[in-house]
Amino acid sequence: MNRILEEKLGGYNAETAEEEFDALREILQEVILSGLSDADFFNLAAFHGGTCLRLVHGLRRFSEDLDFVMLDAQPRFDWSAYKKKIASRCNLYGFEPEFLNKENQTSPVKKMLVRQGSIADLLSFAHLRDPRRKIRIRLEIDVNPPEGLSSETSFLDFPLPYRLQIPTINCLFAGKCHALLCRQYTKGRDLYDFQWFVSKYVEPDLGYLENTLIQSGSWEDQDIHVTKSWLKLALTNRINSLNWSAAKDDILRFLPKGEVEAIQLWSREFFLSRIDKLFKYFASK
């Protein structure tokens, strides 16, 4: 068994099989990120999304994917250039990843799936029922980023200290507002992250949000101007349209046991109150 992985997994104090599996997936996510850093990937791109919020900012939910955005447009980007470095770093810790990605992807979001086979020989598990279960982590990168992204350097410490580039917290919130407003279905993780930003008194970068909305989503190619009042109305309309049962079903899978009870508060009224809280903070500045 791998002592480093054993110690890391033990630090999660997982109480269920799903928490244990989520913890192991997160460990692999961090190993992949360290490999990308070693390959100078973060000279070109920034790490964003839910996993970034969790690993860098302490968001209390698990996340499946690794999401990135180019700092400048790179339409010819190809994940294949990073497979060797990722595999080499993973091998150091006992992982044997497989890489699955489509050739000649035409979408501005380039994807690659990293899959780890049986985990039976990696660790001893307290709860995991099926050690043959595969870990799947999707890597996605927007190679045609919206204008106005502000980024900063950050650092993580596992499996060893490394540098990465991330959007500022204001741009991260803008990205989450874009997801909440434009996603074609109800995703509880968007709502969980939104309330987290509000609880931290973060102000979304309205200029960057405007650019992301015009580039993709419900307002694509429209002449909109995102002001505080525009955003408040758009968020209110979105909250009024959501399926709360679907929202709760989506998020519960990704929460540690201690976070589940608070989700019972979720409702139209609760999130409208979060919007009011956000804009009261806006008004006080």
User: For 164-187, how does the pLDDT look when each residue is reduced to its tens digit (9 = 90+)?
Assistant: 999 999 999 999 999 999 999 999
Looking at residue 207, its pLDDT comes to: 98
Residue 86 DSSP SS3: helix
User: For 42-90, how does the pLDDT look when each residue is reduced to its tens digit (9 = 90+)?
Assistant: 999 999 999 999 999 999 999 999 999 999 999 999 999 999 999 999 9
Q: Which residues of 219-229 are buried (b: 16+ CB within 10 A; e: fewer)?
A: beeeeeebeee
Q: Comparing C-alpha atoms, which of 31, 34, 143 is closest to residue 78?
A: 143
Predicted TM-score (pTM) of the model is: 0.94
Q: What is the dihedral of CA 40, 45, 49, 52, to 10 degrees?
A: 30
User: For 129-156, how does the pLDDT look when each residue is reduced to its tens digit (9 = 90+)?
Assistant: 676 788 999 999 999 999 999 999 999 9
pLDDT band at 104 (very low <50, low <70, confident <90, very high): low
Mean pLDDT along residues 207-224: 95
Distance (Å, rounded) from C-alpha 32 to C-alpha 156? 12
Q: Comparing C-alpha atoms, which of 11, 35, 37, 43 is closest to residue 24?
A: 11
Is residue 14 scored above 60 in pLDDT? yes
Is residue 126 scored above 80 in pLDDT? no
Mean pLDDT along residues 112-128: 79
Looking at residue 81, its pLDDT comes to: 94
Architecture of the domain whose range is 1-167: Roll (3.10)
Looking at residue 15, its pLDDT comes to: 86
Is residue 279 scored above 60 in pLDDT? yes
Lowest mean pLDDT: which of 22-26, 29-33, 235-239?
Answer: 22-26
CB 220 within 8 A of CB 211: no
Residue 112 DSSP SS3: strand
Mean pLDDT along residues 195-216: 97
The residue ranges of every structural domain in the chain are: 1-167, 168-285
Distance (Å, rounded) from C-alpha 195 to C-alpha 207? 21
